[in-house]
Amino acid sequence: MNRRTFLAGASAAAALGRAQNSAPAVPPRRTYSLNRNWLFGTDADESKFSRVTLPHTNVELPWHSFDDKAYEFVSVYRRHFRAPPAWNGKRIFVDFGGVMTAAKVTINGHHFEEYRGGYTPFSFELTEHLKFGADNLLAVEVDSTERADIPPFGGSIDYLTFGGIYRDVELRVVPKTHLANVFAKPVRVMANDRAVLVRCYLDGRVDQPLTITAELSDGERVLKSATATVKTAAEYHDVTLAAIGDIQLWDLHRPKLYQVTAHLDNGDALTARMGFREARFTDKGFYLNGEHVKLRGLNRHQTFPYTGGAMPARVQARDAKVLRQELKCNIVRTSHYPQSPHFLDACDEAGLLVLEEIPGWQHIGDAAWQDLAVDNVGRMIRRDWNHPSIVLWGVRINESADNHEFYSRTNALAHSLDDSRQTGGIRNRPNSELLEDVFTINYFGFPLRPPSHPLYLNTEFNGHMFSTKRFDNVERVAEHVIRHVRVHDQLASDERYAGGIAWCAFDYASHRYFGSGDRICYHGVSDIFRLPKPAAGFYRSQCDPEEEVVIEPGFFYAWGDRGSGNGPGVVPICSNCDHLKVYYNGRLLLEADPGRKTYPNLRHPPFIVNLTTLSFGNWGDLKIEGYLKDKLVATRMLSGSGTDDVLVVKPDDAELDGDGRDATRVVLAVTDQFGNLRPLASGAIQLSLTGPGQIVGENPFSLSGGAGAVWVKAKEIAGTIRLEARHQYLGRKAVEIRVRGVEAELV
Ligand code: GAL
């Protein structure tokens, strides 16, 4: 199933409206969002069900210290819908983006085979079982238990899977013979005769010759088109858009996207968004469009506080922006499963490279389990092959033992579906068998091993070796920074390392046998609310100062939070300036240059400054000035007052769609007078909301390390949400979020 499928033309509501009137004019293809108006419950009595929208979690949870058994149960979702008479003669499919973990789907009482797997899309054809001009009932029994017959389960896993229909559902109305998928594969991107091979997968009979027309467009103009005639049915048909001429490449800084549309002469059409780039792992590292790029990235779990994976497009997409624009990463690994299509779309838009992998963690199950894992490879690639951001397919179960036959199958399938991308497979044994193109390894020791294979990428380091909370004491957070710094410095020392993807971007919820005792793995450079720890400052500081001048202290500023007192200690300041001046209480304390002697390979090594001589009698503010070529370009003030000064209530977005599912994070924090987070600030924040929205999260919210977040979700009406937060000592603060009206597509 291709998620970027649409046909330009009448809106769904208009199409449906026409269909319900006497002269039905149904477009050849129409995809309806089926995310609103579901009923949800846990037994057979529909009168006890509640009305919900998707994405949906089967239970809302605290942000930590909960038992996974809380979501491990079977639930039922029901969706009534009216199929207009005009659909008669069409083929109708229901497309599920992701249901955790197994789904038994029925339509009007007809049962489909159970779909097993929480991270991959699946579809069923409803056509024969529908009642046209009448009510239809689509029901889904969702088993969210950890079933040993389904990857990743069978052993232990260091993350939680959560439950429910947690991704989008669509209804697809198409001609009898239609395009089931399109792979728009750019070829010879760097040559003058670049082309796009448009591989069209047809579903349906070919009784008479059919013409396929493929078009490349930049969103405004059609740049190229070509046709092919199909006389007999086959798995796919290729149309080549040759001699394309000038195009703009997709790269990290200007991620230009194009559209390729395949049209059938029966009016069906399917569009794939794609980009032109050449991505290769070589024995001299990674090359994008012929240029060497040292990969610097973080692993990401797709889960959030309160709802697990059930966050809407905007929230899933925001993580890509955080990784690219705030953490300045150039790659992310979707550990350990195919992630939200919205996240991947946002990676395409942000210029963030992706290593995507199949679901699994250390354990390999029996033959049937392995068949499912091989099937996951196919579903992942067919869903995501048009994303220019994806540069490597991960086709092993993360950190599993060798299994020649199993991994020969996953590699062969990946290569046969997509010969334009290399495969990797994440291992933690240096002598494991390499059936993939790139040797991708989790190695947690330091120093790193020299590359043992010509194509070599480090896919995990740090993580559990130095679990660090955002509000840990100064020695620990500063050491956390250094541990990320030193690995990236070593990776930069040898061109045979393609680079490294650290464990990990965000803290995440896990099982009781992992983490810090509250079932959270504090392994992120940002916390579970996506709020940065000092280690995030290292990643942020690696960008060109033309993009952003960064000064991030790798410590919290206090006189006596360290064993021996006298200030924060010898600590890193992460910055891309060439020189820093540090003032203590208004007087110049020291000047510093980047720590090139210790970290000679980084473009922007941290500055290591000695802050052990701060007299407490004179204790006061610290000012850090950043210079580029002797010019003062940025100043950072850290308060010595020791007081909680400002209550911050900050939504990420000022406007939401009134579709009952759109949501935005609202950060709750206490800062000093200069806007720096106060990591030991405490207190409960009482929230009250008026208008068309609801709070997703804890209320009152107890600050954790001086901060945290809830999400505000829009209801299905337009208006203005007003959220007021009250802190016992810091007073009240209110924010407003507008909600736009959005009509339901199919009621
Ligand atoms: C790795 C594993 C990750 C995570 C990490 C913690 O071994 O692949 O999923 O558990 O350890 O550092």
- Here the CATH number for the domain that contains residue 618 is 2.60.40
128 is catalytic: no
Cα separation of the two ends of the chain:
23
| Cis ω before 454 (30° cut-off from 0) | no
Identify whether 724 is part of a domain. yes
**Which amino acid belongs to residue 562?**
R
Mark residue 377 as left, alpha or beta (left: phi above 0; alpha: psi -120 to 50; beta: remaining): alpha
Identify whether 285 is part of a domain. yes
Instruction: Report whether pLDDT(505) > 60.
Output: yes
Nearest CA to ligand 1 atom 3: 158
**Which amino acid belongs to residue 100?**
M
Structural tokens at position 620: 């006061």
Identify whether 449 is part of a domain. yes
Percentages (nearest 5) of helix, strand, coil residues in the chain: 15, 40, 45
Domain boundary among 245, 261, 279: 279
131 vs 566: which has the higher pLDDT: 131
Instruction: Report whether pLDDT(7) > 60.
Output: no
Residues 82, 227, single domain; the answer is: no
Task: Indicate the pLDDT class of residue 26, thresholds 50, 70 and 90.
Answer: confident
Residue of 334, 428, 446, 503 with the most ligand 1 atoms within 8 Å of its CB, for mutation: 503
Query: Strand, helix or coil at 288?
Result: strand
User: Which residues sit with their C-beta closer than 6 Å to ligand 1?
Assistant: 158, 335, 398-399, 442, 460, 463-464, 503, 523
Distance, CA of 356 to chain centre: 10
- Give the mean model confidence (pLDDT) for residues 500-520: 97
Identify whether 715 is part of a domain. yes
Q: Exposure of 684 by Cβ count < 10 A (0-12 exposed, 13-18 middle, 19+ buried)? A: middle
Pairing of strands 731-741, 655-658: parallel
Among 287-291, 566-570, 607-611, 734-738, the least confident range: 566-570
In whole angstroms, how far apart are CA 614 and each of 568, 585, 587, 639, 640?
9, 10, 11, 14, 11
Identify whether 546 is part of a domain. no
Residues 109, 163, single domain; the answer is: yes
Distance, CA of 80 to chain centre: 31
Residues 298, 395, single domain; the answer is: yes
Beta bridge partners of 170: 33, 95
Residues 250, 268, single domain; the answer is: yes
Q: What is the CATH number of the domain that holds 720?
A: 2.60.40.10
Residues 170, 28, single domain; the answer is: yes
Residues 195, 254, single domain; the answer is: yes
Residues ≥6 apart with Cβ < 8 Å to 605: 485, 489, 594, 595, 596, 598, 599
What is the rounded CA–CA span in Å between residue 490 and residue 509? 30
Contact of 538 with 484, CB cutoff 8 Å: yes
Identify whether 746 is part of a domain. no
Identify whether 1 is part of a domain. no
Residue of 358, 460, 483 with the most ligand 1 atoms within 8 Å of its CB, for mutation: 460
- The enclosing H or E element of 477 equals helix 474-491
Pairing of strands 237-241, 195-203: antiparallel
Structural tokens at position 271: 């569009």
Ligand 1 centroid to Cα of residue 399, in Å, is 9
Classify residue 149 by its DSSP letter.
T
pLDDT tens figures, 191-244? 999 999 999 999 999 999 999 999 999 999 999 999 999 999 899 999 999 999
What is the rounded CA–CA span in Å between residue 539 and residue 488? 10
460 is catalytic: yes
Ligand 1 centroid to Cα of residue 511, in Å, is 13
Instruction: Report whether pLDDT(13) > 70.
Output: no
Ligand 1 centroid to Cα of residue 361, in Å, is 9
Q: Given this model, what pLDDT does residue 25 score?
A: 67
Is the pTM higher than 0.85?
yes
pLDDT tens figures, 45-97? 888 999 999 999 999 999 999 999 999 999 999 999 999 999 999 999 999 99
Residues 245, 224, single domain; the answer is: yes
Residues 590, 562, single domain; the answer is: yes
Contact of 622 with 582, CB cutoff 8 Å: yes
Task: Indicate the pLDDT class of residue 700, thresholds 50, 70 and 90.
Answer: very high
Task: Indicate the pLDDT class of residue 22, thresholds 50, 70 and 90.
Answer: very low
pLDDT tens figures, 585-643? 999 999 999 999 999 999 999 999 999 988 888 899 999 999 999 999 999 999 999 99
Mark residue 598 as left, alpha or beta (left: phi above 0; alpha: psi -120 to 50; beta: remaining): alpha
What is the rounded CA–CA span in Å between residue 55 and residue 42? 17
Q: Tell me what the pLDDT averaged over the chain comes to.
A: 95
Q: Which of 278, 356, 399, 716 is catalytic?
A: 399
What is the rounded CA–CA span in Å between residue 500 and residue 457? 6
Nearest CA to ligand 1 atom 10: 158
Contact of 466 with 481, CB cutoff 8 Å: no
Q: Which ligand 1 atom is at minimum distance from the Cα of 399?
A: 8
Residues 241, 298, single domain; the answer is: no
- Give the mean model confidence (pLDDT) for residues 262-275: 97
Structural tokens at position 503: 């464990």
Which value, to the nearest 10 degrees, does the dihedral of the CA atoms of residues 248, 249, 252, 258 take? Answer: 70
- Give the mean model confidence (pLDDT) for residues 437-464: 96
Instruction: Report whether pLDDT(582) > 70.
Output: yes
Task: Indicate the pLDDT class of residue 8, thresholds 50, 70 and 90.
Answer: very low
**Which amino acid belongs to residue 163?**
G
User: Residue for token digits 């016992």?
Assistant: 728
- Domain of 386, in residue numbers: 280-540
Among 335-344, 592-601, 737-746, the least confident range: 737-746
Distance, CA of 232 to chain centre: 40
Ligand 1 centroid to Cα of residue 525, in Å, is 14
Q: Which of 460, 698, 716, 745 is catalytic?
A: 460
Q: Given this model, what pLDDT does residue 2 score?
A: 39
Instruction: Report whether pLDDT(155) > 70.
Output: yes
Domain boundary among 515, 540, 565: 540
Q: Given this model, what pLDDT does residue 747 score?
A: 65
Residues 494, 587, single domain; the answer is: no
Ligand 1 centroid to Cα of residue 398, in Å, is 9
Domain boundary among 148, 174, 200: 174
pLDDT tens figures, 705-714? 999 999 999 9
Residues 14, 150, single domain; the answer is: yes
Q: Which ligand 1 atom is at minimum distance from the Cα of 514?
A: 10
Residues 60, 160, single domain; the answer is: yes
Query: Which of 698, 700, 738, 742 shows the shortest CA–CA distance to 721?
Result: 738
Identify whether 2 is part of a domain. no
Ligand 1 centroid to Cα of residue 463, in Å, is 7
Residues ≥6 apart with Cβ < 8 Å to 226: 198, 213, 214, 239, 240, 241, 242
**Which amino acid belongs to residue 490?**
Q
| Number of separate domains in the chain | 5
